[in-house]
Structure 1
Amino acid sequence: MDAVIGSAAEPLYNAAPGSYRPLMHIAGGQRRIDDLHWGYQASWAVGKVPVAINARLEKVSNRYWAPLLKNGRAILPADGWYEWTGDQGDKQPWHIHRADHTPLFIAALAHFGPASATPAAHGFTLVTADAEGGLLDVHDRRPVVFNYDDAALWLDPDLPAQQAEQLARSMALGPQAFHWFKVDRAVGNVRKQGGQLILPAK
């Protein structure tokens, strides 16, 4: 996707909620990549609901998310993400990525605006769906990941919100599109960075 680059964020191997990440979106008829705070809280919800880092796909049309579904669709580009399994105190991290090693285009909902004393007022959240029993934990969820063409359609401001929701339901990549392996527990420390974090655990 050709885009105006407004992002200054460095690539991270261990991005955490609260960090600023580059998001693809459309503004003023242009595709842009701008940095935004991972975590969103509607201005009217301060003190009522916590900052959200994920939005459940089955709830994106409710009062809280509907304005962003209509006017705030974005894409987070990534190489993969981490999930944890196991019991408390003995959890194992896994790195999940496309089986064909192509980039991930993760559906996001975002509110862009000027820098604020409350970063979450201008932040983003990832759209998640049921894992369909095919990833690590049958009870867990996964980000909604598109291929290139469907990511471009998700960003299209002319696509009605209802159709965008249906796109996420019908065209998100299924479990068969992904591969995963165990990685080092060092990823549990958000200060740890580097390519060694996404290597298979020994």
Structure 2
Amino acid sequence: MCGRFDQNDNARRYVSAFGWADAAYDSEAAPTFNAAPGTYRPVFHLQDGVLHVDDLHWGYRASWAAEKLPISYNARVEKLTNNYWGRLLKAGRAVVPANGWYEWTGEKGHRQPWHIHRKDGEPLFMLALANFGPFKEHKAESGFVLVTADSSGGMVDVHDRRPVVLNAADAATWLDPDLSRDEAEMLARQMALGVDAFEWYRVSTDVNYAGRDGAHLAEPIAD
């Protein structure tokens, strides 16, 4: 987790659901039912007390690590305070709004995708770490990763990891620059929505192909 997500609404509607009256928009990414790593997606962050919505590359690798580490798309909550992620945890906290995410089960060649979403139909506010600003050598230098946690039992039949999703108020706290690194890590661990807040169902294998899109990708199929 997480290899794809459903971000089929526009940024202004996500901001409204987040509970903010307005934001500074620097986002031109079109809504998609099949957001894939390596693409640019709308991300929330705070700058001088103003909520900003910027299109960031999904995938991050520090500039100094170009010859040492692969590009990351997720960051485990258990490792947020290590030397690699610690700087972003202090100054690069972000939120990725979405309607759901996808996971796969089954053997290679027969993988079944699932759409996972909130039971109440509300948007997800997934915690992220990001490096904002221009890149020098590779766009992953200015990208984001989703924060993931153990699936804690009930969702493990679909996947053993899941994105850390908070309600809108707690996600706004995550963005607060006055929150210390330790406080941010504790928030991510303690306030993540539990498995019982979600439901999931099988969807079309069309979602397996990163270039495909459309509402049918998020619709349930018969068992």
- Please classify the TM superposition score into its range, dividing by the shorter chain length: over 0.9
Distance 1:115 1:73 in 2: 18
Sequence identity of aligned pairs in percent? 57
Structure 1 length as normaliser, TM-score? Answer: 0.97
Gaps of 5+ in 2: 1-19
CA 1:116–1:196: 2 relative to 1, 3 Å: farther
Q: Is the 8 A contact 1:133 1:139 kept in 2?
A: no
Shift of 1:28: 2.6
The match for 1:28 is 48
Shift of 1:111: 0.1
Q: Does 1:170 align with 2:203?
A: no
Q: Does 1:40 align with 2:60?
A: yes
1:29-83 superposed Cα distances (whole Å, 9 cap, x missing partner): 3110000000000111111010000000000000000000000000000000000
Gaps of 5+ in 1: none
SS in 1 for 2:153: coil
Q: Does 1:17 align with 2:17?
A: no
The match for 1:70 is 90
Shift of 1:117: 4.1
Distance 2:74 2:101 in 1: 14
Shift of 1:115: 5.0
Distance 1:20 1:115 in 2: 14
1:114 to 118, 134, 139: 134
SS in 1 for 2:32: coil
CA 1:191–1:139: 2 relative to 1, 3 Å: closer
Structure 2 length as normaliser, TM-score? Answer: 0.88
Shift of 1:137: 3.0
1:126-179 superposed Cα distances (whole Å, 9 cap, x missing partner): 000000011143761000000010000000001111000000000000100001
The match for 1:199 is 219
SS in 1 for 2:206: helix
Shift of 1:116: 4.4
Q: Does 1:60 align with 2:91?
A: no
The match for 2:167 is 147
Distance 1:141 1:75 in 2: 18
CA 1:173–1:160: 2 relative to 1, 3 Å: same
Q: Does 1:179 align with 2:195?
A: no
Q: Count matched residues.
A: 202
Q: Does 1:135 align with 2:117?
A: no
